Amino acid sequence: MVMSANDKFLLDMPTFLPDYSEQEEYGYKNKPGRNLEELLRKSSKNHCMYCYSLLKNDRVNIGHLEHSIEKSLDELHLTECVPNIALACPNCNQSLKKVGEKKRIAELQEAKIEFETKLVCRGNVCRSECEKYKKLKKEYCRKAQIILQPSGVRGENSNLEYKIQYDVNNAEFIPDEKYQYDEYDLDYIKRHINRFKLNDPGIKTKALANFVEDVIEADGKYREQSEYPNYIVDLFKEKIRDMSQEKVLELCEQIYIRNVILFRT
């Protein structure tokens, strides 16, 4: 597989869709919280749902449950709302996602009142977003411009699912090129990418660069179960699974040369 300078090798970043069981009890705290965390880790293959980093330090799981719409907006209803709980690394949850939080909460008071009015809340029995939650989420997204997880976000006018790809050649995350996004959609997705610093120099992931270097050193061989610190490596492995060892080596050599240039500049 020889790629020209204009070829694109794109990895589709997933929307995380947990398969909630009707037999399990889910929530934010205690045993229901542990059940939900286990499910979300399975759904994301133990990766942060915002920056895609592996939530594992040596043999210990890191990261924690986080509220998509901050529970401080309405602790009574949002704290144990199962569809409102995602899985994130400490940096995304405690730092990056909190930027502008106080302002958002202040600006959403009217939406909060509408949310609470005649709300029939089933609490942690819910397995999907109710209509009231969807309306609150819509207002929240207008302010925050975050692709909330789990379940993701759709464009307000286009109704297109907001998706991200990883451009292997340029070592960067971009709006998914399979979709005909309008200017508002593209701006929203780019703001999400910038908020979580996915392409920031010195911070952007080098996981794939490390993987291709290891493959080159092993003459095109790799272990399917080997772990690297970002989901993009898992997706890349899926792409090359049916390639011959020679083709894998050839491809990784091309990517390695390109990555050396990109990361040095």
Q: What is the mean pLDDT of residues 247-262?
A: 92
CB 63 within 8 A of CB 90: yes
Q: What is the mean pLDDT of residues 101-118?
A: 97
Q: How far apart are CA 159 and CA 48, in angstroms?
A: 25
Maximum pairwise Cα distance, the chain: 64
Give 197's contacts (C-beta < 8 A, 6+ positions apart): 51, 96, 203, 204
Q: How far apart are CA 258 and CA 263, in angstroms?
A: 9
In Å, what is the CA distance from 128 to each residue of 71, 122, 125, 136, 138? Answer: 17, 11, 9, 14, 15
Q: Is 143 helix (H, G, I), strand (E, B) or coil?
A: helix
Q: What's the first-to-final CA gap in the chain, in angstroms? A: 26
pLDDT the model gives residue 5: 46
What are the structure tokens assigned to 142, written together?
């207008």
Phi, psi (deg, nearest 5) at residue 50:
-115, -40
pLDDT the model gives residue 1: 46
Q: What is the mean pLDDT of residues 122-143?
A: 94
CB 46 within 8 A of CB 228: no
Of 14, 32, 31, 15, nearest to 127 by C-alpha is: 32
pLDDT the model gives residue 59: 82
Q: What is the mean pLDDT of residues 234-244?
A: 97
pLDDT by residue (tens digit) across 167-222? 999 999 999 999 999 999 999 999 999 999 999 998 999 999 999 999 999 999 99
Which pTM does this prediction carry?
A: 0.94
pLDDT by residue (tens digit) across 143-163? 999 999 999 999 999 999 999
pLDDT by residue (tens digit) across 1-49? 445 444 679 999 999 999 999 999 999 999 999 999 999 999 999 999 9
Confidence of residue 71 (pLDDT cuts 50, 70, 90): very high
DSSP code for 12: E
Q: How far apart are CA 198 and CA 78, in angstroms?
A: 28
Confidence of residue 265 (pLDDT cuts 50, 70, 90): low
What percent of the chain lies above the pLDDT cut of 70?
A: 97
